Amino acid sequence: MSATSWAWLVLLFPLLGSIAIALGFKMLPSKAAGAIGTAAIGLAFVCGVAALISLLGEAPDARHHASSLWDYASVAGLDIKLGVFVDPLSVFMVLVVTGVSTLIHLYSFGYMQSDEGYHRFFSYLNFFVFSMLLLVLAGNFVLLIVGWAFVGFASYALISFWYRRTTATRAGMKAFVINVVGDIGLVLAAFLIFRELGTFEYGEVFARAPHVFSSNEWTITAICLLLLVGAFAKSAQLPFHTWLPDAMEGPTPVSSLIHAATMVTAGVYLIARTHTLFVLAPTAADIAAFTGLATLLVAGTIALVMTDLKRAIAYSTMSQIGYMIMGVSIGAYSAGMFHLMTHAFFKALLFMAAGSIIAAMANNQNIDDMKGFGKAMRFTSITMLCGGLALAAFPGTSGFFSKDEILAYATARGGMYEIFTVLGYFGALLTAIYTFRLIFRVLPGRPCPEAQELIDTGHVHHAHPFNPATGEEEDTDVGFPGADHHIAEQSWPMRAAMGVLAFLALFAGLIQVPGLDEVVTKFLDPVFADSPLAEIVPSVGASWAGLAIGATISIVGIGIAYWLYIARPETPAMLIKRLRPLHTFLVNKWYFDELIDVLVVKPALAIGRFANRTFERLVVDGLVSGTEDIVGGSGRIVRVVQSGFVRSYALLLIVGFAGLALYFLLSSS
Amino acid sequence: MNVEWYIVLSSLLFAVGATGILIRRSPVVILLCLEIMLNAGNLSLVAFSKMVGNQQGQIFAIIVMVVAACEVVVGLGLIVAIFRRKLPLDVDELRELRG
């Protein structure tokens, strides 16, 4: 079978799984729903591997195929096909998405067991994977937008999964609205592309673009900037990032799958996919790179002070995506994609570990209340440590190779791109500190009551759960873990998922060691061969020098965290007291929510109120009631004549006719 | 005989009928006056027909008589209905349909 046939099968299984679970939720026992969901994604992963094998059997230059099943829309010179585009980049994304998704489904199989919305959860989750695969496999911009919007909806549905929880539903709406802003950017970019190039198909667009546009022409810059709006909204980059931390209100597997491993990296994929256009618009590419840099620094500093376990990891996700966006924008394509892959592994793992702890804490996510889980949950703490080491780019782990490769490329490109190297290393220092801040505060020390109960009895029982943000009672009837919590590491599917990810987080970097194997670079090379930036390759020596710097920074960062939180636990409080304004600034997340509120929400509301009060009340209502008054008034006047006296009607008639007769007589003579 | 005489008679009859409608309040009398007005019209039709020398006017007059007969049937039926319901036979009293 050809690679495209496998790609269609990759799309088919999650869709079938989603439909089967959604339609059969009354009949299926909950275990069966979980099994179907997991199996569907597992089969998709197998098909993805088959597509990879079939692709590897061809010459590197011939590794791109387009295939379409039928016409999606064919009208007025527009010919859009329901087609997929299979090349190393999309197969790479398919493997990352289906691979990580399979493990997260496996994890959810155990994690969501005490949840009433089990079927709904797996149906949504399969639908999300289908949409994400549609996004990465789409063969034209229209289908890309379809997948793009589908993942937006799936994200909304899963953030608001506990739909009786007001904070969750609000977060879902916020995510959806911000994502729709991005969708608009993407749609407008597609319109512009069609106007200039007359087609939506990837192959034709990328073949024609270099002949149609001159470098930095305004149209191509506009197209790229609009694409960036879409990418930034989906990938939670400044200034569209505020939805991601709020999205942590959803169930933890959702955060792990959508808001760490897959959906939020769609922006990176988009930039890599359209790199031909970005090469033509260097200004837009630089804007993207600087936004990525700004995001990675801003998010890194916020992550230093967050006391909410999942939100801190979410800010770390934004920061790591900043690296990827920066990478694919400056030309380190395969390095950016490689970081996407390793990040999917270690961040999904970190979220799983966090979810495990949060479940034991009755959905309390505050790290001030957590302590001593190292003894209580040994398996979770080991995997969390693995994920943390990879995130902090500890020498030898996967994050170590991927992050430093981006920075080494920035150095090799030289010029102003040195800024990215320097600040990127500073970001790496922040990463190491905030990652181990979380680990050192949660794992060691004297166990908190929950951890102690777990050590003593082997399970945890809580009172009825309350939402810590609003104090409302959680509604466990429609899906919220009840009083008896499922301890993550006690069921084998969760252990299996976390174990595999821990292994990958530690060792996946070894497939891309500079000067040794560089599997990812070689595999993705044909896709990016047309970009002049792909010819800049950091020398092996420079790469190793970069790795050495990265290793030092990582160890120094972990050391600082150790010094702050283990050796001298009283220092953080002292620092907070001394740097009170800075701390307040960071705790309030650089006041981005307030800024957007003032710049966008308040003016929009003001315009709405103005339109309501002035336009609606005066103009529209005036027109309507004015018409009514005119008709009614003239009716009142005419009514007076209808006195009901028949003889007066007759008189009127006679006088009228007499008058008419007189007139004609006079005028005829 | 000259046609003017017929026209003068017809106008007089018409004026009598119109005056009757305007000044009388009994529906029966009003109906009678209506008949007078219609027949005034008939008279002038016949007179003109004689003057012109063809029969069209006379046929017209016969049609008018048929219509008048129908009208009287309806009108008298209404009057009987009013009488049966013991309502006053006075057009000024019966003004329920005023605006």
Under 8 Å between Cβ of A342 and A398: yes
Q: Which of A640, A646, A654 sits opposite B91 (nearest CB)?
A: A646
Q: Which of B22, B96, B97 sits opposite A647 (nearest CB)?
A: B22
> Per-residue pLDDT tens for B30-74?
999 999 999 999 999 999 998 988 888 999 999 999 999 999 999
Contacts of A644 in chain B (CB under 8 A): 95-99
CATH of the domain at B48: 1.10.287.3510
* Binary contact (B98, A650; C-beta < 8 A): no
B25 and A CB contact within 8 Å: yes
Interface with B, mutate which of A634, A646, A651 (most B CBs under 10 A): A646
- B91: in domain: no
Q: Which residue in B has a C-alpha nearest to residue A652's C-alpha?
A: B22
**Shortest Cα–Cα distance, B97 to chain A (Å):** 6
* Binary contact (B95, A644; C-beta < 8 A): yes
- B93: in domain: no
Which residues of A fall below an 8 Å CB-CB distance to B? 638-647, 650-651, 654
The alpha carbon torsion through A32, A38, A39, A43 (nearest 10 deg) reads 160
B1 pLDDT above the threshold of 80: no
Q: Which of B21, B97, B99 sits opposite A647 (nearest CB)?
A: B21
Contacts of B92 in chain A (CB under 8 A): 645-647
pLDDT at position A227 is 92
Give the DSSP H or E segment for A173.
Answer: helix A166-197
**Shortest Cα–Cα distance, A643 to chain B (Å):** 5
Tell me how far apart the alpha carbons of residues A129 and A120 are, in angstroms, rounded to a whole number.
14
Whether the full predicted model's pTM is greater than 0.90, yes or no, is no
Residue-averaged pLDDT of chain B: 90
Q: Which residue in B has a C-alpha nearest to residue A650's C-alpha?
A: B22
- B97: in domain: no
**Shortest Cα–Cα distance, B19 to chain A (Å):** 9
* Binary contact (A644, B25; C-beta < 8 A): no
- B92: in domain: no
Contacts of A647 in chain B (CB under 8 A): 21-23, 25, 91-92
> Per-residue pLDDT tens for A279-317?
888 889 899 999 999 998 999 999 888 888 888 999 999
Of A268-272, A323-327, A552-556, A568-572, the one with minimum mean pLDDT is A568-572
Q: Which of A638, A640, A647 sits opposite B91 (nearest CB)?
A: A647
Expressed as residue numbers, the domain containing B75 is: 3-84
- B95: in domain: no
pLDDT at position A408 is 87
Interface with B, mutate which of A642, A645, A647, A665 (most B CBs under 10 A): A647
Domain count, chain B: 1
- Helix runs in A24-140, H state only: 30-56, 88-111, 118-137
pLDDT at position A483 is 54
Average pLDDT over residues A73-86: 80
pLDDT at position A478 is 62
* Burial of A612 (C-beta count, 10 Å sphere; 0-12/13-18/19+): exposed
CA-closest candidate to residue A319, choices A589, A596, A598, A600: A589
* Burial of A457 (C-beta count, 10 Å sphere; 0-12/13-18/19+): exposed
Residue-averaged pLDDT of chain A: 86
Interface with A, mutate which of B24, B92, B96 (most A CBs under 10 A): B92
B31 and A CB contact within 8 Å: no
* Binary contact (A645, B97; C-beta < 8 A): no
A186 pLDDT above the threshold of 70: yes
Q: Which of B18, B25, B98 sits opposite A644 (nearest CB)?
A: B98
If one compares A331 and B77, the residue with the highest pLDDT of the two is B77
pLDDT at position A291 is 92
Q: Which of B21, B23, B95 sits opposite A645 (nearest CB)?
A: B95
Show contacts of A155-158: CB within 8 Å, 24+ apart: A155/A128, A155/A179, A155/A247, A155/A258, A155/A259, A155/A263, A157/A124, A157/A127, A158/A121, A158/A124, A158/A125, A158/A128, A158/A250, A158/A251, A158/A254, A158/A258
Interface with A, mutate which of B11, B16, B21, B78 (most A CBs under 10 A): B21
Q: Which residue in A has a C-alpha nearest to residue B91's C-alpha?
A: A646
Contacts of A645 in chain B (CB under 8 A): 91-92, 95, 98
pLDDT at position A482 is 57
> Per-residue pLDDT tens for A28-54?
787 888 888 899 999 999 999 999 998
pLDDT at position A464 is 67
Interface with B, mutate which of A642, A654, A662 (most B CBs under 10 A): A654
Q: Is A65 helix (H, G, I), strand (E, B) or coil?
A: strand
DSSP secondary structure of A212-227: HPPTT-HHHHHHHHHH
The alpha carbon torsion through A400, A401, A402, A407 (nearest 10 deg) reads 90
Q: How many CB pairs under 8 A join A and B?
A: 36
Q: Which of B18, B23, B91 sits opposite A654 (nearest CB)?
A: B18
